[in-house]
Structure 1
Amino acid sequence: MTGTTAGRARQAARNNVTILAAARDVFLEDKRAPISAVAERADVGISALYRRYAGKDELLRTLCHEGLRTFIEQAERAGAEPDDWAAFETFMVGVVEADVHSLTVHLAGTFTPTEEMRADAVRANELAVALFERVRPQMRAEAVPADITMMLEMCAAVRIPDQARTAQLRRRYLAVLLDGLRAGGPLPEPPPTIPEINWRWSTPT
């Protein structure tokens, strides 16, 4: 690879990082925003964006797939913890700090998942359930793996204009939720069902 070619490759990689960051911000504000708004926010030409992404559907899919991969990475890293509760807590904190669910929940149903995404989703669920099973003896008897999804969505819903303060508040309420999972009195009402967790992914909107 020549110096010129390598330089272009580095620039393309930088552009992609900028585009994805801009897309995240734009679509968190308005999931119906046009792809041109992403190019404007990223300060790149629309042609540069289209060279990498065929359209909005592909860009949305890429954003959510990146979040799914981050979820898997956090679960795999946490799984190496020898202490069961520390492993589960490390996983939950890592996912919340990576802000995975803000985007995936917001954009659910707005694009068509690929088979690769579906396979990664299965893998992500397997890892999360495995971490849950490790700490099940320390949890309330009524707790189920689906509670993990709801807890992560609750934390993602905490958002104020100050990003640093948002992160602090999410950690605060995650601590409250984790403490609530530990063995104690019975939980009220039935736990969430899988259809209740997955309903938003059924039809693109």
Structure 2
Amino acid sequence: MSGRKAQAARNDELILKAARAVFTADPGAPIAAVAERAGVGISALYRRYSSKEDLLRKLCFDGLQLYIAVSEKALEDQGDPWEAFAGYMRGIVDADSSSLTIKLAGTFQPTPELGAAAVRASELATRVHARAVEAGVLRPDVTTADIALLFEQMASVKLGDDERTGQLRHRYLALLLDALRRPASHAALPGPAPEDAELSARWVP
């Protein structure tokens, strides 16, 4: 890339990183707070994103793309079924796309492109889940919606810096994986599983 294009790419990376930090801390923060955190002028931000909603859509689209990539990688893994599923869980926790769901659901109007990516992510998650159940490694009374909310629980763990937060999330994920793996001794789960419609309704402004 030319010097100008390279600088624009660097600015975009700084803006998106700052926007994620700002809006997952406070979804109501003004877009000027993103420019300040990124260390770029507000005009540079507006040249790339015409509005706060535009920036929020980009953040969520990128999060979905990460989710899709991790899911596809898990489905391509033809090794041990449990390790493929556990790797999927670890990958989604590291991608941290659930932090965006927790904070940003219902705060903007999704585009058709974003909707299509969400459908793709959901389809892949269903396939990953079904494969683990069919292989007999995942307890069958756990649904894909259960898994989605478990990801959100992991995303809510925040303590110290990013490294410490990552350590703790993987600590609790290890406990969750032990609970999800299918031994004969598990008691039935109480209450009905969440419905997909309950999860998707949160994205309606």
TM-score (norm 1): 0.93
Letter in structure 2 aligned against 1:163: D
In structure 1, the residue matched to 2:132 is 135
Indicate conservation of the 8 Å contact 1:76/1:127, yes or no: yes
Indicate conservation of the 8 Å contact 2:158/2:165, yes or no: yes
In structure 2, the residue matched to 1:111 is 108
State, as a whole percentage, how many aligned pairs show the same letter. 52
In structure 2, the residue matched to 1:125 is 122
- 2:6 paired with 1:7: no
Indicate conservation of the 8 Å contact 1:141/1:186, yes or no: no
Query: Structure 1 unaligned runs (5+)?
Result: none
**Match among 190, 193, 196 for residue 194 of structure 1:** 196
Cα distance in structure 1, aligned partners of 2:94 and 2:121: 17
Letter in structure 1 aligned against 2:46: Y
What do the CA deviations read for 1:64-120 (whole angstroms, capped 9, x no partner)?
A: 110000000111112111122122111110110121111232111111111111111
In structure 2, the residue matched to 1:16 is 12
* CA RMSD between the two structures: 1.3
In structure 2, the residue matched to 1:84 is 81
Specify the SS of the correspondent of 1:191. coil
How many Å apart are 1:161 and its aligned residue? 2.6
What do the CA deviations read for 1:106-160 (whole angstroms, capped 9, x no partner)?
A: 1111111111111111110111111111111222232111111011011001111
Cα distance in structure 1, aligned partners of 2:139 and 2:43: 54
Query: Structure 2 unaligned runs (5+)?
Result: none
Specify the SS of the correspondent of 2:74. helix
Cα distance in structure 1, aligned partners of 2:9 and 2:85: 34
How many Å apart are 1:188 and its aligned residue? 1.5
Cα distance in structure 2, aligned partners of 1:158 and 1:26: 17
- 2:16 paired with 1:32: no
In structure 2, the residue matched to 1:155 is 154
TM-score (norm 2): 0.93
- 2:41 paired with 1:45: yes
Specify the SS of the correspondent of 1:91. helix
Letter in structure 2 aligned against 1:139: L
How many Å apart are 1:163 and its aligned residue? 1.6
In structure 2, the residue matched to 1:165 is 164
Say how many residue pairs are matched.
Answer: 199
